Amino acid sequence: MIRSAIFPGRYIQGKDALDVLGNEIGRFGKKALILCTPYAYENLIFRVKSGIGESIEAFYEKFGGECSDEEIEKVTSSGKSKDVDVIVGIGGGKTLDTAKVAAYNLKLPVVIVPTIASTDAPCSANSVIYYPDGRFKRYFMLPRNPDTVLVDTSVIATAPVRFLVSGMGDALSTKFEAESCREKYADNLSGYKGSITAYELANLCYNILIEYGRIAKASCEADSVTPALEYVVEANTLLSGLGFESGGLAAAHAIHNGLTVLPQTHKFYHGEKVAFGTLVSLFLTDRDEDTIESVYHFCMDVGLPITLEDIGLRNVSDDDLIKVAEASCREDETIHNEPIPVTPGDVLDAIKTADMYGRDHKAGYY
């Protein structure tokens, strides 16, 4: 049996890490296309330019809002016309995913600079492609991970708290999906079986969230960098990225993808929907009550969704929920990495049970 684990070329994290951005870009070239989310373009550009210095010729492009084939083509064409030798993505997960695919198209190195810790996208050799209207389209598997990931925790600390919490929701799934893949002997995202390193990193990711999640949220609410915030940012960004990619995906992310078929969910973040998908997976896979209680308690404590209403689906019909369940169970979906056979009917029942259990929690029954 062949096992594998895949990693970014270099991971840098810390307060004021943007100060060394120019050094990191300079390892790959002197001419960079820098794709910025609108927030970064408008609010961080002075810090970015200061960190880059005068040794790098930089061209700045504002991200269009969706990691779609159309946006990727626009960025690819811009990089080609400017004859750059490195792509830099600065922003949230969709901005970073777009930068990664554009760099692949141009056969260039890519430097990833997340401004929020809302997903595990930054470190991965995987981009999630959407239609321009926000519906999930497909995964794009890249041949290698980003060359550098640079995380400035002073930027993360001043971003809206909801982003950090969403990242915890994305990271929360890592342990459970990796465990399912391990039990099923399912392939990870490199096409091989996961390594013991990947599974242990997935467990470490979960343990950090449970121990430090609430403190990290308080730090972010205070616009402050503390050790707890550093730990959770690393869990959200590095450990979750390594865990999902080298451990594997299963039900939680498939249910997230299914939820995107309902437009009411589009205003909610990836990690928020993944968190609810994780809750659904606990019932789908017959997890013990202590585990279910721990996960619900954590979600309530940090403010992650625990009911359908929390992701915009108040009074949703069974007809709509079965659409979610059917999309979650598409032939190519990762839900089939669960160690049990899964049908749309099973998913529908688990969704409704997870929602009821969450409503009971809010009512104080548990």
Active site residues: 170, 253, 256, 270
| Dihedral Cα 85, 91, 94, 97, nearest 10 deg | 30
Cα gap 296→310, rounded to integer Å: 13
Cα 251-255-260 angle, rounded to 5 deg: 155
- Residue 25 identity: I
Instruction: State how beta strands 193-194 and 31-36 pair.
Output: unpaired
Shortest CA distance to 149 belongs to which of 128, 120, 173? 120
- Residue 332 CB partners (closer than 8 Å, separation 6+): none
Cα gap 287→115, rounded to integer Å: 35
Shortest CA distance to 78 belongs to which of 57, 47, 99? 99
Do residues 88 and 25 lie in contact, with contact meaning Cβ atoms separated by under 8 Å? yes
Q: How far is CA 111 from the centre of its chain?
A: 17
Cα gap 351→206, rounded to integer Å: 22
**Phi, psi angle pair for 111, to nearest 5°:** -110, 125
